[in-house]
Structure 1
Amino acid sequence: MRVVAFKVLCLTMLFLVMAPLVARADISVGYEDRGIGVGADTWIRDENTGELVKPEPGAVGTDPNEYKYELQCHLGGGDFDTPCLARQLECKNGPDGEEGIPVMWLSRPRGVPGSVWAPHSGPTCLYDARPEDLLPRIAADIQREFQNLPVSAGSVTAQPSPHTLRGAETNFYAESVEQQFDITMFGQQVHVVATPVQYTWNYGDGTVFGPQPSMGGPLPQDRWGEKTRTSHAYGATGDFQVVLTTSFQGTYSVNNGPALPIPGQGQFSAPPQTISVWRSLTRNYADDCNANPQGQGCPGTAR
């Protein structure tokens, strides 16, 4: 009788701890004939639409992993880790003031026979009643949101600057760094990481170089005029507007979930930089400026 009483007491404690989770009927948490199921089991990325979808048999996505989430403290079937439940993450006051469910994200290599689910990240909260429907909606809009982020293309430096000479190589280089943003989509917290991967140089005279992976680099002053991968020689004098466009590759994660790739690349341009191209003149003078500082061609005299 003591064993039966102990089992009844444990089940009572389990339902008391689980009560906040099942209070919301619209979140799909419930017992099934194979145990307890929460939301969708796995997702892959549809290569045509970019959306996260349940995979068809034999389907292969662009991400080498597949993901699923489980309730925090879930041991499988209908079993939970009772000590874990006592310190379970509280999911209150979500983006729209609603309560959520605490989950752990799992991942495994896709298409590898015998691969097992392993912890990926968490615990974290899901606040949507049907996250298996929410994630494809975010995936469908994430590229547009990415392009609208205030990503800095980086700064541009010219050597020499702000003046250079016609026919001489002017070295241009960029400085661009990885950037991170936190945005809200459909009431969910989305973390975006933007990494620069390619650069396009528009030198303002009709010449465009790129996209290509090199951002260039500085030269010591005694090497100015050397040809570099990102340098340019102007064939005419005048003022030219140099524009750098940086291509960024992005990833995003929803509610601290796994990092997923953003389809395509975001293109961001730096403010134009003016470079003035001058011409040089060479003349021979007979005066020795040491003997006659006021001689023609000496510093400080009229040319």
Structure 2
Amino acid sequence: MILAVRDEAKGRRTVAELTAEQPDARLEVRHLDLADLDSVRTFAQRVHADHQHLDVLINNAGVMAPPRSLSAQGHELQFACNHLGHFALTGLLLDLLTAGRNPRVVTVSSINHRQGRLRFDDLAGERGYAPMAFYNQSKLANAVFGRELHRRLTEAGSPVRSLLAHPGYTATNLQMSGPVGLWRVVFGRIGNPLFAQPPDRGALPQLYAATEPEVESGAFIGPDGPAELRGGPTRVRLSPTAADAETGRRLWEVSERLTDVRFALAAAAQRPPAP
């Protein structure tokens, strides 16, 4: 397992904790900043140098509702980290995934994707920025990407499955480290104690999507409790916008242009899986 982290010291501490419980675990820590496309390319190059195949890619990096800021390449930070970095990373690693065993890509979205709107005429928020609105946009982009990737993989005859997952309302530091002002109070100090589930429960939908043998490509997995806030993993619905093929095509083309990454789907589909 490769732990792709922004903070390598925290990554090494996590590895120490995991190996204390599972001494036979084979874990690697590698630096990756999903908000920086140069970092994404460097990470992908190093993975290619050291590995012949990958079985699962989980796209779960995220920032939530910060003040408006731009990535190293000049993109709005939430759209850059939560979507563009995942799009680029998936495309750059697709050949290794195609060679994997039962390969799949799991992209983590949110309940909030249903409130999102893709501002194709102002993705960077130059004409108006609201922290939560642009967070919701990035989570909708996750959902649109995961579904469009499923369509394209299927059409190409690729063995790779594309799945989506969301953690419900989970008590992590996302709500405390990202949002500013009132949003931090609402989500972190009030929402977390009252409504959120612990992180080990919130991780279940993406673990299910990553490991369940029979889960179908294109499925969206989330908690089975009321309003999908908490509970065990089950298949849940995508918003009509996320499932719309024309929206998927448009976002894909924009993402290719902004990342300069093209998916070699036809060639990748022909590559034999690893033994």
Q: Which has the higher contact order (CA 8 A, sep 6+)?
A: 2
- Relative to the length of structure 1, the TM-score reads 0.21
Larger gyration radius, structure 1 or structure 2: 1
- Higher normalized helix content (fraction of residues): 2
TM-score (norm: length of structure 2) = 0.23
